[in-house]
């Protein structure tokens, strides 16, 4: 099977997030992936840590939903403006910068807008 394009990897990530599919969400990340703040501060390292965090997140936020507002892909990078909705809270906008290598997200950097 050919590897996913960067856009396809990020789309699979968003779809798994919206489905609360922790295994599918984690599968979009490389084994040694990093989830960071946009300033480079590493929040989570590794697919397993990303999965464990999101398992707890989805359990506490069963209605979490992501809408991609804007999307730009260039080489191995995908930048998205996402609107995240959590029950009882106003929608939040965030910018995410994904770096994808060999069909897997190796780095996801996040900044609220």
CA distances from 49 to 3, 40, 70 (A): 23, 17, 28
Q: What is the average pLDDT score of the chain?
A: 96
**What is the spatial distance between Cα 5 and Cα 109, in angstroms, rounded to a whole number?**
18
* pLDDT reading at 1 higher than 70: no
- 77-85 and 92-101 strand pairing: antiparallel
In this prediction the pTM is 0.95
Please report which confidence band the pLDDT of residue 39 belongs to, taking 50, 70 and 90 as the band edges: very high
Do 86 and 27 contact (CB within 8 A), yes or no? no
Do 85 and 91 contact (CB within 8 A), yes or no? yes
- Go through the domains of the chain in sequence order and give each one's CATH number: 6-112 (3.10.450.50)
């Amino acid at each position: 099977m050919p590897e996913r394009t960067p856009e396809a990897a990020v789309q699979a990530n968003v779809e798994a997030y919206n489905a609360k599919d922790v295994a599918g969400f984690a599968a979009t990340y490389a084994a040694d992936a990093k989830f960071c703040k946009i300033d480079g501060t590493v929040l989570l390292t590794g697919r397993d840590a990303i999965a464990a965090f999101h398992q707890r997140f989805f359990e506490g936020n069963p209605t979490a939903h992501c809408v991609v507002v804007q999307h730009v892909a260039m080489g191995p990078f995908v930048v998205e403006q996402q609107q995240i909705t959590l029950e009882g809270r106003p929608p939040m906008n965030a910018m995410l910068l994904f770096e994808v290598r060999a069909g897997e997200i190796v780095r996801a950097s996040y900044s609220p807008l």
